[in-house]
Structure 1
């Protein structure tokens, strides 16, 4: 996609100063931009049509999410915005969000270990981790179809408080062509999934801060135990080692367990909503599901290796666990009973309850 012709709005704002140079976020954004590929090439008129079509489908999908999920928060999502972006803009937005998520723990680690990050060694370490982050985001930026970003406002105060929904136009076009599916149906199908995440955070306005606190606590704990801050940050970014091996005490493991449960819940719930979409909403939904599910079998050896390195397949298994949990709870107590999960942090399932949904139901008194 020739993004120079695209009217798509890009996430903006001046990059924040990297805290104590532990990560060179500016270099991360530049690296992602350099390594990102543009995607399918379209004419200016085609780009305009894709952007307009995605925006229209994003708007139309809200009513369907409301009906399927039973969440009243889907009635009005004016507290956040929808952006149609290219791959580079998606990567830049995620650099900003990553910076927002770990800004506080990085500053704390920098203050505590100032002797380890001063001078040339610290500068080199920050650039290495920045470049690594950019390379990872460039790869992911060619795969992601959409994303709800709840953390954007933390570094960009002019952005609406609830966050923003990013739809990656070139990737959506590329996949719909690859699968040979109806573009109109596929774009609505994608929007339905991503708008579900937007609705989740609208239904649980406390969820962003809840996640942020857990992430900050986990990162702070892991960095405080590091012999080499730059090595530990590099490990956190690339997951070149098992994440569980980086968790050195029970407290860190407990936090990671809670985060795993929440992320599994969010994706699992979105998948259940997608399962509620029938031909009356997306006429060719059966074909789309079949071809999209089979898409993974066509990956090349390099992509399979990268996915294993980044832990993406493990994440997909976690999402399947979340889907089984949501389906089981809805079957037992209905949508109204399940939707209590969005009321307060104490209602979130533990990782154990994720695999034993009846125990969550019993705890809720449903």
Structure 2
């Protein structure tokens, strides 16, 4: 199959922008993941299957290269054959993708890759960023790594423990790719970037801005699903006992401040179409906080069946979701 993203050019572009002063550490992520997975399972009731999940510490360049391969594989899987032959498009996509990932490589602490197209699911922990974050916040790096793993393994639980969630999201992305005429990077970015927590603020949604009317409902559903996924992971992080992570409250404060920080990364995020909207982190988190206050089992019901997913309107009005779910026989997906 022809390349939609020229991987070598993308990797070279990313590395030109990455400032790297340290490689991966020898941090024992398997030990930390054992603790984090128990917390996630207790809070979500979902299976994670760590035995089939690679968890590794990487440097910034390694994170960017892994993402380029993952993005490129997904884009090539979903791009219609009629769009594979555009002269120079693979190189243009490569420069755009490499520049974006190179710019964000210093910001990402950890990422779960669901491996939609190539490879196997994995969690990548960016050691240098974790250590710098911990030093800046005057926090313990092991605690920071554990807290980040809780977030990433919650995504693992969502995509592994709820197969229909993964398949529906992939189906929606396929619809967008097959019908759209804009850059595939713009389309895939808005959906996937939230899994990495890139950027902050209220960016211009390039992908949705230029979509024809008939596709906006598809994009809206995909955005809603990822808002649910990110809000759920945020909520789980904030439920971790201080017996497990003693400085959890301090982490939350620093993370919230970090997401509101200004700078070049924020400007790029606002115009790239791959930015993660802080408002949607907030909306998703507030939704789960609200339903959990009403019913401690409610967050698990969201992932019990496809009908449990909130609509876009219900995300901003959790009481509406609670009323709808109250009319149904409770059904919780557990271990």
What TM-score do the two structures reach when normalised by structure 2? 0.83
Change (3 A) 1:236 1:260: closer
Match of 2:311 in 1: 350
Q: Give every structure 1 segment of 4 or more consecutive aligned residues whose post-TM-superposition deviation is greater than 6 Å.
A: 237-241
Indicate conservation of the 8 Å contact 2:27/2:57, yes or no.
no
Contact 2:231 2:288 survives alignment (8 Å): yes
Given candidates 148, 172, 184, the residue that maps to 2:142 is: 184
Relative to 1, partners in 2 of residues 1:197 and 1:346: Cα closer, same or farther, differing over 3 Å? same
Alignment partner, residue 71 of structure 1? 45
Shift of 1:235: 5.3
* TM-superposed deviation, 1:329: 1.8
Residue in structure 2 matching 1:105, options 58, 74, 78? 78
1:362 counterpart (319, 323, 329): 323
Instruction: Decide which of 258, 267, 287 is 1:325's aligned counterpart.
Output: 287
1:357, distance to aligned residue in structure 2 (A): 2.1
Provide the rounded CA distance (Å) in 1 between the counterparts of 2:276 and 2:102.
Answer: 20
The Cα offsets for residues 71-101 of structure 1, whole Å up to 9 and x where unpaired, read as 1414x43232212211122112212221232
Q: d(CA) in 2 for partners of 1:180 and 1:94? A: 29
Query: Of residues 32, 47, 51 in structure 1, which corresponds to 2:26?
Result: 51
Larger CA deviation: 97-106 vs 138-147: 97-106
Seen in structure 2, the aligned counterparts of structure 1 residues 324 and 234 have a Cα distance that, compared at 3 Å, is closer
Determine if the alignment matches structure 1 residue 131 to structure 2 residue 130. no
Measured after TM superposition, the shift of residue 340 of structure 1 is 2.4
**Are 1:62 and 2:37 counterparts?**
yes
**Alignment partner of 1:142: what SS?**
coil
Give the whole-Å Cα distance in 2 for the aligned partners of 1:334 and 1:296.
Answer: 28
1:303 alignment counterpart: 265
1:33-59: per-residue Cα shift (whole Å, max 9, x none)? Answer: 3332214x37xxxx5xx4324442222
Deviations 1:325-360 (A, max 9, x none): 11222222322x331222333432221221122332
Partner residue, 1:4: none
Aligned residue for 2:7? 25
Local SS of the residue matching 1:51? coil
Offset of residue 148 of structure 1: 0.9
Q: CA deviation at 1:313?
A: 6.7
Higher mean alpha-carbon deviation, 304-313 vs 354-363, is at 304-313
Measure, in 2, the Cα distance between the counterparts of 1:270 and 1:189.
11
Structure 1 or 2: more helix by fraction: 1
Kindly tell me the number of residue pairs found equivalent between the two proteins. 314
Measure, in 2, the Cα distance between the counterparts of 1:22 and 1:313: 21
d(CA) in 2 for partners of 1:316 and 1:297?
A: 8
- The question of whether the paired residues in 1 share the 8 Å contact of 2:151 and 2:234 is answered with yes
2:163 aligns to what SS in structure 1? coil
Determine helix, strand or coil for the equivalent of 1:266.
Answer: helix
RMSD: 2.6
2-side partners of 1:173 and 1:326: how far apart?
30
Indicate the residue corresponding to 1:281 in structure 2.
Answer: 244
Matches of residues 132-281 of structure 1 in structure 2 within 5 Å? 132-151=96-115, 154-156=117-119, 159=120, 163-223=121-181, 232-233=183-184, 236=187, 242-249=206-213, 251-281=214-244
Shift of 1:149: 0.7
